[in-house]
Chains A and B, each alone.
Chain A
Amino acid sequence: MLPSVKSVWLDAFNDPVAGISAYTPCVHTCNLFGDGENRLVIADEDRKLKIWKGTQKASEHPLLDTPVAICSYISENTAPRLPALAVAAGSHIYIYRNLRPYYKFVLPPENVNTEEQDIWQKVMEGEIVIGEAVAQLTRLQDAGVVLQTRSLQLMNIGDPDAKMAFVEHWQGQPLVATTVITCMDVVKQAIDEPDAVSCLVVGTESGRILILNPAGTAIVKNIWVGITPAMIAVQGELDVGYRITVAGRDGKLYHIRNGELSQTIIQLEAQPVGLVRLAKHVAVGCMNDVVHAYTPTGHKSWSLYLPCHILAMQRMEVTGQRNTKALIVALSNGEVRVYNEKLLVSVHVSPNPVTALWFGRYGREDNTLLAITKSGALDIKMLPRTANLEAGAIGGGPPPEQEIPLAVPKKTRLYVEQTQREREQAADMHRTFQRDLAKLRLTTARAYVKVLTDGQGAAAFTTNTNLSLSLNIAGLGPRFRLSLLLRNDGSTQLNDIPVALRADAGLYSLGKTQFTIPFLVPGLQYTFEVPVTAIDPMAGTGTITVLLLAPGGVSSSAPLLQAQIKMPMSEPEEVE
Chain B
Amino acid sequence: MGFFDKLLSLFGMSGKKVNVLVVGLDNSGKTTIIERLKPRPRQAAEVAPTVGFTVDEVEKGPLTFTVFDMSGAGRYRTLWEQYYREADAVVFVVDSADKLRMVVARDEMEHMLKHSNMRKVPILYFANKKDLPVAMPPVEIAQALGLDDIKDRPWQIVPSNGLTGEGVDKGIDWLAERLS
- Write the residues of chain A forming the contact surface with B, with a CB cutoff of 8 angstroms: 10-13, 54-56, 319-321, 362-366, 380, 382, 384-386
Contact check: which of B78, B100, B108 meets A12 at CB < 8 Å?
Answer: B100
Q: Are A384 and B107 in contact (CB under 8 A)?
A: yes
Q: Are A321 and B104 in contact (CB under 8 A)?
A: no
Residues of B within 8 A of A382 (CB): 101, 103-104
Residues of A within 8 A of B50 (CB): none
Residues of B within 8 A of A362 (CB): 100
Contact check: which of B75, B111, B134 meets A54 at CB < 8 Å?
Answer: B134
Q: Are B99 and A384 in contact (CB under 8 A)?
A: no
Q: A12-B100, A386-B111 are in contact. List 9 more A-B contacts (CB 8 A).
A: A10-B107, A54-B98, A54-B100, A55-B99, A319-B74, A320-B75, A365-B101, A366-B74, A386-B107
Bound: A347/B67 CA distance, A: 41
Q: CB-nearest residue of chain A relative to B27?
A: A364
Q: CB-nearest residue of chain B relative to A11?
A: B103
Known: A54-B134, A384-B107, A385-B108. A320 touches B74 (CB 8 A): yes
Q: Are B98 and A385 in contact (CB under 8 A)?
A: no
Contact check: which of A320, A363, A385, A386 meets B101 at CB < 8 Å?
Answer: A363
Q: Are A364 and B101 in contact (CB under 8 A)?
A: yes
- Write the residues of chain B forming the contact surface with A, with a CB cutoff of 8 angstroms: 25-27, 74-75, 77-78, 97-104, 107-108, 111, 134
Contact check: which of A10, A363, A385 meets B74 at CB < 8 Å?
Answer: A385
Q: Are B103 and A55 in contact (CB under 8 A)?
A: no
Q: CB-nearest residue of chain B relative to A9?
A: B103
Q: CB-nearest residue of chain A relative to B107?
A: A384
Bound: A385/B97 CA distance, A: 21
Bound: A354/B7 CA distance, A: 63
Q: Are A364 and B111 in contact (CB under 8 A)?
A: no
The smallest C-beta distance from A389 to any residue of chain B, in angstroms, reads 15
The smallest C-beta distance from A406 to any residue of chain B, in angstroms, reads 41
Known: A10-B107, A54-B134, A364-B27. A321 touches B101 (CB 8 A): no
Bound: A54/B103 CA distance, A: 13
Bound: A365/B100 CA distance, A: 9
Q: Are A363 and B107 in contact (CB under 8 A)?
A: no
Residues of A within 8 A of B102 (CB): 12
Residues of B within 8 A of A56 (CB): 134
Q: Are A380 and B100 in contact (CB under 8 A)?
A: yes
Bound: A382/B104 CA distance, A: 7
Residues of B within 8 A of A13 (CB): 99-100
Contact check: which of B77, B99, B104 meets A10 at CB < 8 Å?
Answer: B104
Residues of A within 8 A of B107 (CB): 10, 384-386
The smallest C-beta distance from B102 to any residue of chain A, in angstroms, reads 8
Q: List 25 A-B contacts (CB under 8 A).
A: A10-B107, A11-B103, A12-B101, A12-B103, A12-B104, A54-B97, A54-B98, A54-B99, A54-B100, A55-B100, A319-B74, A320-B75, A363-B98, A363-B100, A363-B101, A364-B25, A364-B101, A365-B100, A365-B104, A382-B103, A382-B104, A384-B104, A385-B108, A386-B107, A386-B111
Bound: A320/B100 CA distance, A: 19
Bound: A10/B111 CA distance, A: 14
Among B27, B100, B104, the one with the most A-chain Cβ atoms within 10 Å of its Cβ is B100
Instruction: Pick the 10 closest A-B CB pairs, nearest first.
Output: A10-B103, A384-B107, A12-B103, A363-B100, A54-B100, A55-B99, A12-B100, A55-B100, A382-B104, A10-B107
Residues of B within 8 A of A365 (CB): 100-101, 104
Residues of A within 8 A of B97 (CB): 54
The smallest C-beta distance from A318 to any residue of chain B, in angstroms, reads 10
Bound: A321/B100 CA distance, A: 23
Residues of B within 8 A of A363 (CB): 98, 100-101
Bound: A287/B101 CA distance, A: 36
Residues of B within 8 A of A54 (CB): 97-100, 134
Among A55, A56, A320, A385, the one with the most B-chain Cβ atoms within 10 Å of its Cβ is A385
Bound: A11/B102 CA distance, A: 10
The smallest C-beta distance from A321 to any residue of chain B, in angstroms, reads 7
Bound: A151/B100 CA distance, A: 53
The smallest C-beta distance from A55 to any residue of chain B, in angstroms, reads 5
Bound: A79/B26 CA distance, A: 23
Q: CB-nearest residue of chain B relative to A54?
A: B100
Bound: A233/B40 CA distance, A: 56
